[in-house]
């Protein structure tokens, strides 16, 4: 009698499990590879993060995750491509804080940040860092500003309207110095200063850290409120006589508007898990990147706060991309 009851329970459990399988399968359709559309070029912070996540995500989902760079117009080209994609979980936008900046910077960014996408997760973030070529006679911001008042200097940024650009413009406005802005793609902004094409660079940390450790750039300041664990000896902008600096480059993951909630939530859970893996955390930390667990709803609320914040920064700086 007990054996019969046991068999009956096993049968019921197996039947329920079988019914659950189609539901799990629907969480992530596998008709074709998942595409990570990176809105900036190879070697950028966005690209570094996308490739770290893509490898682990492919292992988790059991299907290919392909990274494709679609740089241009400060990230707008990649955003517009994903906006037009089918909302089926196969096309993911990986973009920086430019997502929140561009609608104010461009007359027409080509997307509505609050309507055209489903926010998935706020990924890792990094302070911006101001560096100089080793030949520049300045070891801190005070000396750099004094030098800029005597000599004609130029700085490379990761592009017009990026936080790396706006951070430097804030410093220029506060001190009244005239330092020429030269916009580049993110990875090229670092190499411009290394090659001596500009005396200064203002970039996110990941492309700059290896060059600093190799002695090819000298760090001057980080733009976060606290020092970075990746370069703890580098002081913040606030420590050097400025106020209210906490400018970060963050990386976000988005799906096209209309993507089913179960797919959004599944991707959120997977990326949260991936960035907490010890080997991934170590790689991120070495490059000055940190992250914390968050939900799609929390990321959406964060975006709603970032848009007016950066709209004010763009207005105050007078930056325009068109």
3-state SS record for the chain:
CHHHHHHHHHHHHHHHHHHHHHHHHHHCCCCCCEEEEECCCCCCHHHHHHHHHHHHHHHHHCCCEEEEECCCHHHHHHHHHHHCCCCCCCEEEEEECHHHHHHHHCCCCCCCCCCCEEEEEEEEEEEEEEEECCCCCCCCHHHHHHHHCCCCCEEEECCCCCHHHHHHHHHHHHHCCCCEEEECCHHHHHHHHHCCCCCEEEEEHHHHHHHHHCCCCEEEEECCCCCCCCCCCCCECHHHCCCCCCCEEEEEEEEECCCCHHHHHHHHHHHHHHHCCHHHHHHHHHCCCECCCCCHHHHHHHHHHHHHHHHHHHHHHCCCCC
* 142 and 183 together in one domain: yes
* 162 and 225 together in one domain: yes
* 224 and 133 together in one domain: yes
Percent share of the chain, pLDDT over 70: 91
* 116 and 134 together in one domain: no
* 197 and 276 together in one domain: no
Residue 29's pLDDT is what? 66
pLDDT, one tens digit per residue, over 220-277 is 999 999 999 999 999 999 999 999 898 899 999 999 999 999 999 999 999 999 999 9
Is residue 2 in a domain? no
Is residue 18 in a domain? no
pLDDT, one tens digit per residue, over 144-171 is 999 999 999 999 998 888 899 999 999 9
Q: Which of 7-11, 74-78, 107-111 has the lowest mean pLDDT?
A: 7-11
* 31 and 92 together in one domain: yes
125, 251 contact by CB (below 8 A): yes
Distance CA 76, CA 39 (A): 7
* 232 and 267 together in one domain: no
Is residue 16 in a domain? no
Is residue 10 in a domain? no
Q: Domain of 151: which CATH number?
A: 3.40.190.10
Q: Domain of 118: which CATH number?
A: 3.40.190.150
Is residue 84 in a domain? yes
* 97 and 141 together in one domain: no
* 113 and 136 together in one domain: no
Is residue 4 in a domain? no
Is residue 75 in a domain? yes
* 233 and 309 together in one domain: no
Of 240, 259, 285, the domain-final residue: 240
Q: What is the Cα 304 distance to its own chain's centre?
A: 17
What is the overall mean pLDDT for the chain? 90
* 121 and 258 together in one domain: yes
Give the chain's domain count. Answer: 2
Residue 28's pLDDT is what? 62
Is residue 6 in a domain? no
* 224 and 132 together in one domain: yes
Determine the structural domain holding residue 217 and report its residue range.
127-240
Of 193, 219, 240, the domain-final residue: 240
Of 189, 207, 240, the domain-final residue: 240
Taking 90 as the threshold, does the pLDDT of residue 22 lie above it? Answer: no
pTM of the model: 0.83
């Amino acid at each position: 009698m007990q054996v019969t009851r046991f068999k009956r329970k096993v049968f019921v459990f197996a039947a329920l499990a079988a019914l659950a399988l189609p539901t799990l399968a629907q969480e992530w359709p596998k008709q074709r590879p998942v595409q990570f559309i990176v809105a900036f070029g190879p070697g950028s912070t966005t690209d570094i993060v996308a490739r770290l996540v893509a490898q682990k995500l492919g292992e988790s989902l059991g299907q290919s995750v392909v990274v494709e760079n679609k740089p241009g117009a400060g990230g707008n080209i990649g955003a517009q491509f994903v906006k037009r994609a089918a909302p089926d979980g196969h096309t993911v936008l990986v973009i920086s804080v430019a997502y929140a900046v561009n609608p104010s910077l461009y007359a027409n960014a080509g997307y509505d940040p609050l309507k055209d996408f489903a926010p998935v997760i706020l990924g890792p973030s990094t302070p911006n860092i101001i560096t100089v070529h080793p030949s520049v006679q300045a070891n801190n911001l005070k000396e750099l500003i004094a030098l800029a008042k005597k000599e004609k200097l130029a700085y490379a940024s990761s592009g017009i309207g990026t936080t790396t650009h706006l951070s430097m413009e804030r410093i220029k406005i506060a001190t009244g110095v005239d330092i020429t802005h030269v916009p580049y793609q993110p990875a090229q902004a670092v190499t411009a200063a290394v090659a001596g094409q500009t005396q200064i660079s203002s970039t996110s940390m990941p492309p700059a850290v290896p060059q600093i450790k190799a002695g090819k750039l000298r760090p001057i300041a980080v733009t976060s409120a606290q020092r970075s664990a990746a370069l703890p000896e580098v002081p913040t902008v606030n420590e050097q006589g400025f106020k209210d600096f906490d400018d970060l480059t963050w990386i976000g993951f988005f799906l096209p508007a209309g993507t089913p909630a179960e797919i959004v939530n599944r991707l959120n859970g997977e990326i949260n898990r991936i960035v907490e893996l010890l080997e991934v955390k170590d790689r991120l930390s070495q490059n000055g990147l940190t992250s914390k667990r968050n939900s799609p709803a929390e990321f959406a609320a964060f975006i709603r706060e970032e848009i007016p914040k950066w709209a004010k920064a763009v207005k105050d700086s007078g930056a325009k991309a068109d």
